[in-house]
Amino acid sequence: MVMAPRKHREREMLFDSVIALVFILVACVDLCDGATVVDVYRLIQYDMSGVPFGSRLASLNHHAASLHFSPHTDLSRTVLLIPLRELNMSFVKEYIAESKPLGGLIFLLPRMFSFENKDGMGSNNQDESKEPLRNVLAELEQILIHANLPYPVYFAFEDDNIDAVLADIKKNDVTGQPATATTGGYKFVVSAAEPRKVVSPPITNIQGWLAGLKTDDDAHQLPTIAIVASYDTFGAAPALSVGSDSNGSGIVALLEVARLFSLLYSNPKTRGQYNLLFGLTSGGPYNYNGTRKWLWSFDQRMRESIDYAICLDSIGSWENELWIHVSKPPENAFIKKIVEDFSSVAEELGFKVNLKHKKINISNPRVAWEHEQFSRLRVTAATLSELSTAPELLEKTGGLVDSRHFVNEATIVRSVKLIAESLARHIYGHQGKNIQIFADNTNLAVNPSYVRSWLDVLSQTPRVAPFLAKDDPFVMALKKELEDHTDEVNLHRDVLEGVFTFYDSTRAKLNIYQVASVTFDLLLLLVLGSYLIVLFSFLVITTRGLDDLISLFRRPPSRKVKTA
């Protein structure tokens, strides 16, 4: 009688401590420890005039399969892991065109497209093995940008971990067992919040002013030459759109030209009678929206004082031809002069500069070249580019393929020489004379290491305008660099307007889990159950004898009576 309450209390205490232990354990559980964690970059999600494009989802929790899946399987709950090297374009087109249901897509890019990978950087772009991959990726990028995909699409880079996973998945698929909830395999999990709209994406234009020398103090304003490059990018993966060529090369060339002329203008003897205006504009991929805003912010006199504007666009991977794109007819006196300056310098440097005339259609909202924004405001302008034809909207805007591997800094150095020398001829009036101001091995020579270091920085900095913060370190770095070379630097801030709406969540972590199937767990339960039953029977037989075991099954109530 005395024992019973004590025992009761003992049991209660045990329960209490067990519950406390469980609570402590639950508190320190961290469930997100996958076997492999991979950085993934999401396909851009945007609306154009309200029409949705890109990947419309961010979170992912599905089993993985490779391209070797057996036909006629339902893939609506499966993530396809596709290495770019094995990509079958017709498959992608088929799936996207027919909008077949998929659980998700993950594209594995070769390491050479990663901006963290530096080996072999700046090597010549003649490498045959890279060229086909590059073309495939460029085609894929355009398809993905212009498709509406109702599932998450991510990009990742090949590495040892994910290659091993891929090999395993392929092995599974070849045996004809697609991974589903019942057969195990790999599970890919990206836990990301629902993508939200980027509210009023900021654009920041940076302008630097290098004042010319006034000879006499008459009120007459000095003419201005503008050198402009758009600095932002657009691509299938915003977090990977570094745009080394479009328009990293233009930014680098602009900075180097600014540096060279700041040397010249620091000495009153060599200061030219032209003001120089350096403009780094944002919103380039969206019909040069930032350039437009920037130009409209000028007052009328300022705009009229611009003699001409040179826009730099993609000048980092050409062979022996550059193009000057204009919208005024080539017979125009100003245009003629610009072209003459450039082509004569180019001839001396041993390559060709061609002129291409494309009329502006005012009613068409598409602005293919940056100079067209100037021309629309009746400012003489030209674009220097390696592209012979105008790119389409959202094409050649520094996307996935535009990596450092395909840009050669020697080419940019040549472009810089051309630009600086042509400008100098115009400013100092040396037309027709063979004078090299920026000759090699002088203190005015183009500095290749400066070009290279800026190119490297740009090739590691994704800069899709809506995802650049207002005071992004990158914008501040550009501003500071221009401040070093020019007298006055201003930031012109505005909001990206137009038909585009962007959604955030551009990068995420992919957790890869190796999971067992439900069948396996059921089987395990069966095995364990029989193990325990066998163990029970064995123990009963050895300690109490076989009869006891049999009686246990035969007359269970008898035991109850006994214990009670």
Partner 1 sequence: MTVFHFFNCAILTFGPHAVYYSATPLSEYDTLGTSIKAAVVYLATALVKLICLATFLKVSESDSFDPYQEILKALIGFIDVAGLYFALTQLTHRNISQNHKFQAVGLGWAFADSVLHRLAPLWVGARGLEFTWDYILQGLEANANLVLSISLAALGSLMWLRKNKPKTLIPIIYLSAVIVATMPSITSYLRRGLGWHFPKVVGFELFTSLVMAFISWQLFAACQRPSV
Rounded CA Rg of the chain? 33
Choose the binding region for partner 1 from 141-149, 291-299, 485-493, 526-534 (rule: CB under 8 A): 526-534
Please, what is the minimum distance in Å from the beta carbon of residue 73 to partner 1? 21
CA angle 121, 458, 232 (to 5 degrees): 135
Which of 143, 302, 437, 515 is the binder for partner 1 (CB under 8 A)? 515
Nearer to partner 1, 118 or 544 (CB): 544
10 lies in the binding site for partner 1 (CB under 8 A): yes
Q: Is the peptide bond before 247 cis (omega within 30 degrees of 0)?
A: yes
9 lies in the binding site for partner 1 (CB under 8 A): no
Please, what is the minimum distance in Å from the beta carbon of residue 160 to partner 1? 18
Which of 97, 535, 546, 550 is the binder for partner 1 (CB under 8 A)? 535
Considering CB under 8 A, how many residues would be counted as binding partner 1? Answer: 38
Which of 536, 546, 547, 555 is the binder for partner 1 (CB under 8 A)? 536
For 9, list phi and psi in degrees, rounded to 5. Answer: -65, -40
Nearer to partner 1, 175 or 519 (CB): 519
Q: Are 295 and 357 in contact (CB under 8 A)?
A: no
Which of 490, 514, 530, 558 is the binder for partner 1 (CB under 8 A)? 514
Q: Which of residues 152-191 bind partner 1 (CB under 8 A)?
A: 181, 184, 187, 189
- β 153-157/104-109 pair status: parallel
Q: Are 208 and 489 in contact (CB under 8 A)?
A: yes
| Residue 21-60 contact track with partner 1, rule CB under 8 A, x = bound | x---xx-xxxx-xxx-------------------------
* Residue 147 DSSP SS3: coil
> Cα–Cα distance between 84 and 560 in angstroms, integer?
70
- Number of H-type helices and E-type strands within the chain: 15, 19
Residues with Cβ within 8 Å of residue 348, at least 6 apart in sequence:
434, 436
Nearer to partner 1, 19 or 528 (CB): 528
Q: How many CB atoms lie within 10 A of CB 137?
A: 22
* Residue 144 DSSP SS3: helix
> Cα–Cα distance between 503 and 43 in angstroms, integer?
10
Residues with Cβ within 8 Å of residue 295, at least 6 apart in sequence:
303, 373, 374, 377, 379
Nearer to partner 1, 172 or 383 (CB): 172
14 lies in the binding site for partner 1 (CB under 8 A): yes
Choose the binding region for partner 1 from 166-174, 206-214, 219-227, 523-531 (rule: CB under 8 A): 523-531
The residues binding partner 1 (CB under 8 A) are: 7, 10, 14, 21, 25-26, 28-31, 33-35, 181, 184, 187, 189, 511, 513-516, 518, 521, 524-525, 528-529, 531-532, 535-537, 539-540, 543-544, 563
